[in-house]
Structure 1
Amino acid sequence: MTGEENIIRVLLVEDNELNQKFAMAVVRKMGFAIDVAPNGKIGVELFKSKNYHLVLMDIQMPEMNGIEATMEIRRIEAEEGQGKHVPIIAVTAFAMEQDKRNCINAGMDEFIAKPYKPFELEQKIRMFL
């Protein structure tokens, strides 16, 4: 195994630059590599191009929202047929119960509401990594 294969890689799909920087700082502090996609469409393309261990997914984004991107990622995983299931955590300002249900129904595994504190995001990530 090469060193590259041992790296835990996180994909952040988020259009807001400030939110990107905040999440990147938390993930890097945890010792993980992170790639950023500014919308769901680019997020899906990155997901197809690399092996990620976790996805942090904003919901409201241009071009392709987080719900659509998650459904596409789950479709890709199903097509590959290897039983692969990368955890996806919804990161959103929409924190109503119906919003949470929509995220779970789309195939997301967990949910965190913005604004969040660094330790809250770290706790959610640690649930899966």
Structure 2
Amino acid sequence: MEFTPPVDSMVPNIFTTSTTTTTSISTINNNINSINDEMDQDTRQKIKILLVEDNSVNRKVISMQLKKIGYECDTAENGLVGFERYKENGYDLILMDLNMPECDGAQSSKLIRSYEKSLNRNISAYIVGLSATCLQGSKDYCKNMGMNEYAAKPLKLHILQNIIEGFLNKKRK
């Protein structure tokens, strides 16, 4: 003989889970709106961002995250295209995947830094290395390759916001 719990004993659990999920999503949306309110619209529009990422899904997700917090970005599918776009348009902030075919993030960063040096410019792009592979020493590797910062993928929205705020703070100094 099999025991079947009464239906009314299961109902509160369903609603509890649903309410918790709704509350969490609502809280996240409120946090995002709060972040957006804090940022000055003019500042957001003045930052030129380039996203260099070979994975089309990652490009789409990160582009959407940037849009959600008030920024637009140009994209490139590998480091060579990213370097060419940088030469054509100049960018303030570059989000650079480390592992890409043809020309990876490290090679592209070296090309960008070499190009900047050849122009004798005091201003250089702020390059953030991105990788789904979090190995010890990744941060040091990125610094040695001419990058300013390292972040692990998948990028959480608040991490992306912190990267941009950190960049803006350094730019103001």
Q: Do both share a fold (TM > 0.5)? A: yes
Which aligned pairs between 1:1-12 and structure 2 lie closer than 5 A? 7-12=46-51
* Displacement after TM superposition at 1:45 (Å): 0.2
User: CA deviation digits over 1:65-121, x for unaligned, max 9?
Assistant: 000000000001111102121100111112222222111100111111012311111
Structure 2: distance between partners of 1:74 and 1:94: 24
Match of 2:161 among 112, 122, 129: 122
Q: Is the 8 A contact 1:26 1:122 kept in 2?
A: no
Output the amino acid matched with 1:114: K
Cα pair 1:59 1:67 within 8 Å, conserved: yes
- Structure 1-normalised TM-score? 0.90
Give the number of the structure whose residues are more often helix, by fraction: 2
Deviation larger for 28-37 or 81-90: 28-37
Higher strand share: 1
Once structures 1 and 2 are overlaid, which stretch shifts more, 60-69 or 24-33?
A: 24-33
Q: Structure 1: where are the runs of 5+ without partners?
A: 1-5
Aligned to 1:25: 64
Q: How many residues align?
A: 125
TM (norm. structure 2) is 0.68
Q: Which has the larger radius of gyration?
A: 2
State, as a whole percentage, how many aligned pairs show the same letter: 37
Q: Which moved more, 1:30-39 or 1:69-78?
A: 30-39
Moved more, 19-28 or 58-67: 19-28
Report how far residue 127 of structure 1 moved: 0.7
